[in-house]
Amino acid sequence: MTKPDPVNLVITLIADAKRERLTQAFVDSMVPTLALQGIRVDKTDWLAEEIACDLFVSSADEHVVGAYVEDIMRDQPYDAVTQLLSHRRKKLLICDMDSTMITIECIDELADFVGKKAEVAAITERAMNGELNFEAALRERVILLKGLPEVVLQQCYDERVKMMPGAKQLVQTMRHHGAHAILVSGGFTFFTSRVAAELGFHEHYANTLIVRDGKLTGEVQEPILGKEAKLRTLNGSCKKLGISADEVLAVGDGANDLPMLLAAGFGVAYHAKPVVRAQAKARINHCDLSALLWAQEYRKEDIRHR
């Protein structure tokens, strides 16, 4: 008697139920669609009604299945994550801040206070697309902030910084279940310190704006925290925690996040720039950050909101 192939992969289908609910009919349709490519779904399991459902796949290649699932989902209003079952619950969460944990790019908003938002935002966009050297682009933007009163930093935070939907649930739920959470940003420590405290991160790392006589000098403290520093933070944290990179969830949206996303066992491009979506192992294009909890097999009753 031939033994059945072992289940080694899971495909998690995820919906933003406020916009488009995940239906049983769609989940059922995936089984014969995948079967046409020789991909056998062993069983399905709803994590949250109308929001998230797991499809367990027997003895298949992660990359082949992932590519096919992505092709199926291209025109669908849902997200899908394909991954190995091993180390599904991650022990380290490492996140970018701007346009990932918060809804804005802080440097663009600071520039608005000196009438230079359009100029700075154009540089930010190119840097996040990988078209410019990140460190040089940061210096170029910061110099445009020269003379900005330091008190405007708090005004910017109070008036413009909004947490990304699902951010608090992601950090608090993982933290409650024993994960370590790190915020690492090419932005500024003034903002990461406050965002980390509000969301519940254990640690935060970013760049420091230089202030003299109550005003920004237009300089940033060297060395600049860029993509390599983000990767070093991931690797150093793994060593300190005694875990492997397979046990890491990394989340970001820009080109300076790519090295850490590619190094993590679960590296997610979150509403990301095209260059990041093209290379990351997983993509969230429709849902909020709570999608990353369903992908780790958390259930509705597991989610923490504070």
SS3 212: strand
Decide: helix, strand or coil at residue 46.
Answer: strand
Q: Which of 76, 69, 78, 85 is nearest to 33 (CA)?
A: 69
Report d(CA 299, CA 75) in Å as an integer: 26
* Distance between first and last Cα of the chain: 52
**Are 90 and 173 contacting, i.e. CB atoms less than 8 angstroms apart?**
no
Verify whether residue 302 is a known catalytic residue. no
**From 16, 54, 79, 98, active-site residue:** 98
The answer to whether residue 71 is catalytic is no
Could you give the residue ranges of the DSSP H alpha helices within the chain? 24-35, 62-73, 106-112, 117-128, 134-142, 151-160, 167-176, 189-199, 227-241, 258-263, 274-279, 291-294
* Phi, psi (rounded to 5 degrees) for 63: -75, -40
| Rounded Cα–Cα distance for residues 60 and 138 (Å) | 43
Between CA 43 and CA 10 the distance in angstroms is: 10
For residue 17, give the amino acid letter. Answer: A
Q: How far is CA 91 from the centre of its chain?
A: 15
Catalytic residue, chosen from 79, 96, 253, 288, is 96
How many CB atoms are located within 10 Å of the residue 151 CB?
A: 10
Q: How far lies 166's CA from each of 65, 193, 272, 297, in Å?
A: 27, 19, 16, 16
Query: Which active-site residues does the annotation give?
Result: 96, 98
